[in-house]
Structure 1
Amino acid sequence: MSKYPMTVLGAKALEQELKHLKTVMRPQITDAIATARELGDLKENAEYHAAREQQGMVEARIQDIEGRLSAAQIIDVTALPYTGKVIFGVTVELCNLDTNETVVYQIVGEDESDFKQNKISVTSPIARGLIGKEEGEIAAVQTPSGVVEYEILEVKHI
């Protein structure tokens, strides 16, 4: 499995979820299975089957998170020297040259992307069009509705 980039905050969020799954969800499910077993016949015991199904989903998610964290290359953009270039992890302020609207995005790993929070995946068309460009440059980004030009107003390491 190759390394893929992840921000420090993204890694912390996965670690918190992993801790919750292991320390809260696992014991709850174990208790639910034990309680359901006490009810008798397991073949027709809906509570038992539901708890076993939930256990399978939790264990799969634990394995998924552990795999992602072990394959992650955690990048702390605040520790990198400021160059004005758009790189993974930076927050970039853009001006859409067609509409004159300003927008701010943080370029993050695929698992962390959340458009509602203005966190875009490094593999998204906008991020791919911005990576390597510098403040003041114009980036032409291919979108489903055509090419959009953005002026890079500011690059922040936050």
Structure 2
Amino acid sequence: MTLSSDFSVFDLVERVQSKSTLLRHRRTMSLVSYEIENITLQDNARTRIFSGFQLYSKFVPQIERYRRIAALAEVVYVFGVPDVELPAIDNITYVPIAADDALAQEWFLVSYGPEYASALATREITRIEEEDALRMFKGVWT
């Protein structure tokens, strides 16, 4: 899969949802992401999932959760800067991005299927190196 370095999920969604753009804390992003993921985990919605973690290392704590999601989803794509080696997981495709790509500044989760669709698209307005409690995002949830 080849992406343009300036491709941005946030820009795509913001054009449509600009009135609902809000600032969000990292903790809020986690809660919203879990709710979107739970539609597959708890309700067995067979969706395609596109999940941006900025860095692969941010995905590591979620590996077991995503292993369960991948067993139920149609397919899962995990995007991130490859700063660590990740294990192969059935039905998960890792999509490496460069540190200077627009997607490296975004936290996004898109779940799309015949019975359910939702998207969280955010851009970090702080720096990823900041303490998690201080990180802020500009984004939308549809």
TM over 0.5: no
Comparing both structures, which one devotes a greater share of its residues to strand? 2
The structure with higher relative contact order (CA 8 Å, sep 6+) is 2
TM bracket, shorter-chain basis: under 0.3
Q: Flag the structure with larger Rg.
A: 1
Between Structure 1 and Structure 2, which shows a larger proportion of helix residues? 1
| TM-score, normalised relative to structure 2 | 0.22
